[in-house]
Amino acid sequence: MPNTVNSKTARTQQNNLPLTKLPYFDIKRQHDPLLGGTLEAFEKVYSSGAYILGPALKEFERKFAGYLGVPYAAGVASGTDALIFGLKAAGIKKGDEVVMPSFTFTATALAALHLGAVPVFADVDARSFTLDPKSVRKAISKKTKAMIPVHLFGQTADMDVLMEIAKSGKLKVVEDACQAHGATWKGKKAGAFGDAGAFSFYPTKNLGGIGDGGMLTTSNEPLYRRVLQYRNLGKGIVDPLVHDEIGWTSRLDSVQAAFLSIKLDHLDEMNDERRKLAGLFAQKLQKSPLVLPSEVPGALHVYHIYVVRVPGGKRDALKEFLAQEGVPSMIHYATPVHAQPIMKKYKTRRVPLPVTQALAGEVLTLPFFPGMTEAEVETVSQAVLKFFKR
Ligand X SMILES: Cc1ncc(COP(=O)(O)O)c(C=O)c1O
- Indicate the pairing of strand 97-101 with strand 144-147: parallel
Measured from the CB of residue 274, what is the shortest distance to ligand X in angstroms? 16
Measured from the CB of residue 189, what is the shortest distance to ligand X in angstroms? 16
Q: Which is nearer to ligand X, 4 or 356 (CB)?
A: 356
CA distance 330 to 325: 15
CA distance 153 to 295: 11
C-beta atoms surrounding 146 within 10 Å: 26
State which amino acid sits at residue 99.
V
SS3 308: strand
- Residue from 67, 105, 230, 333 touching ligand X (CB under 6 A): that is 105
Measured from the CB of residue 107, what is the shortest distance to ligand X in angstroms? 4
Q: Which stretch of DSSP H or E encloses residue 87?
A: helix 79-89
Residues 350-379 that bind ligand X (CB under 6 A): none
Per DSSP, 304 falls in state S
Reported residue count of the chain is: 390
Sequential DSSP letters for 267-299: HHHHHHHHHHHHHHHHHHHTTSS-B-----TTE
State the residue number with the nearest CB to ligand X. Answer: 79
SS3 351: coil
Measured from the CB of residue 69, what is the shortest distance to ligand X in angstroms? 21
Measured from the CB of residue 292, what is the shortest distance to ligand X in angstroms? 21
Residues 58-97 that bind ligand X (CB under 6 A): 78-80
Measured from the CB of residue 320, what is the shortest distance to ligand X in angstroms? 25
CA distance 334 to 319: 13
Sequential DSSP letters for 128-146: T-SB-HHHHHHH--TTEEE
- Residue from 9, 30, 102, 108 touching ligand X (CB under 6 A): that is 108
CA triplet 374, 376, 380: central angle to 5 degrees?
Answer: 120
Q: Which is nearer to ligand X, 178 or 343 (CB)?
A: 178
Measured from the CB of residue 218, what is the shortest distance to ligand X in angstroms? 17
Residue 367 contacts residue 327 (beta carbons within 8 Å): yes
* CA distance readout (Å), 106 to 86, 95, 144, 385: 17, 19, 20, 32
Measured from the CB of residue 239, what is the shortest distance to ligand X in angstroms? 30
Q: Which is nearer to ligand X, 216 or 270 (CB)?
A: 216
Mark residues 142-181: x for contact with ligand X by CB under 6 A, - for none. --------x-------------------------x-xx--
Q: Which is nearer to ligand X, 321 or 369 (CB)?
A: 369
Q: Which is nearer to ligand X, 108 or 254 (CB)?
A: 108
Measured from the CB of residue 180, what is the shortest distance to ligand X in angstroms? 9
Q: Which is nearer to ligand X, 149 or 371 (CB)?
A: 149
Q: Which is nearer to ligand X, 172 or 304 (CB)?
A: 304
- Residue from 67, 202, 230, 387 touching ligand X (CB under 6 A): that is 202
* CA distance readout (Å), 320 to 323, 325, 328, 335, 387: 5, 9, 9, 18, 10
Span from 99-107, 127-135, 246-254, 365-373 in contact with ligand X (CB under 6 A): 99-107
Contact between 200 and ligand X by CB under 6 A: the answer reads yes
Binding residues for ligand X (CB under 6 A): 78-80, 104-105, 107-108, 150, 176, 178-179, 200, 202, 212, 214
